[in-house]
Amino acid sequence: MFRRRKKKDEPVTPVEADEVAEDLGDEDAEPGQDGPYDSSEAPKDGVHRLDLGSLLVPVVEGINVQMQGDQQGNIRQVVLIHGDSALQLMAVAAPRTEDIWDEVREEIQAQIHREGGSVKDGEGPYGPELHARLKGPKGTVQARFVGISGPRWLIRAVFQGKAAVDDEAAAVLDGVLRGVIVERGDDPRPVSEPLPMTLPKEVAEQARAQAAAESNGARKPSPGASAE
């Protein structure tokens, strides 16, 4: 069943953190039918979501949103920070009929071992997951890797800090994760290729305005004779 999404230019307000679980629910959905959602099954919940291209992420009061890119300047993942916890999100392409999370977990485990960390298998609300201790610039970081499969996509979610080991600390970030909508698109993509992400419209406009202001400020009028 197709559902219409809220218009992007419609006035919206952030969701309070303690209302995440209630506001992200779809009143038409059956119990246990939480997200993340494919765009073809997006709920009509009235929640304002940050449009990042392949991911639409609920805006929640008290959560800081950061974008991370690669050396070529492509945005690869979004990081949500809440108190002493963080949640990294990225979506990758997947086959239509095959779940690739088992394969991806093996790749993550190998990478963690190569970088000197430790990791073990775990089980969580989304199924098999990884519990890891990563070596960071400021010491050891606790991390919990979660994979969520949808139609031709896989979300890789990494809870860090307190959220990796404490369900209560992870509750707000997990609520946001369950409200994410994935815009896969119809383009064919290699398996595990990151789905393209973009800056939100309001952020991009702000960046352009700031760049224009800095450019105009740098252009000082050259001295010369005044007209009489």
Q: Looking at residue 225, what is its pLDDT? A: 46
- The DSSP call for residue 48 is -
Percent over 90 (pLDDT), the chain: 61
* Residue 208 parent element (H or E): helix 201-218
Count the neighbouring beta carbons within 10 Å of the beta carbon of residue 60.
26
Q: Which pLDDT score, from 0 to 100, does residue 200 have?
A: 78
pLDDT at 204: 57
- Widest CA span in the chain: 82
Q: Where is mean pLDDT largest: 10-14, 67-71, 204-208, 214-218? A: 67-71
Q: What is the pLDDT of residues 148-175, one digit of tens each?
A: 999 999 999 999 999 999 999 999 999 9
Mean of the per-residue pLDDT values of the chain: 81
- The CATH number of the structural domain formed by 20-211 is 2.60.120.1690
Tokens found for residue 197: 């992400």
Q: Tokens for 81? A: 């920070």
Tell me the backbone φ, ψ of residue 39, rounded to 5 degrees: -60, -25
The predicted structure's pLDDT at residue 206: 61
- Which residues, other chains included, contact 52 with Cβ-Cβ below 8 Å and sequence gap of 6+? 67, 75, 78, 197, 198, 199, 200
> Which has the closest alpha carbon to 105: 28, 157, 161, 51?
157
The tokens describing 141, both together, are 């970081």
Q: For residue 107, give the H/E element and its range.
A: helix 101-114
**Total length of the chain:** 228
pLDDT at 215 over 80: no
User: Is the pLDDT score of 123 beyond 80?
Assistant: yes
- Which pLDDT band holds residue 74 (cuts at 50, 70, 90)? confident
**CB atoms closer than 10 angstroms to residue 121:** 10
**Which of the residue ranges 29-33, 35-39, 105-109, 170-174 would you say has the lowest mean pLDDT?**
29-33
Structural domain spans, the chain: 20-211
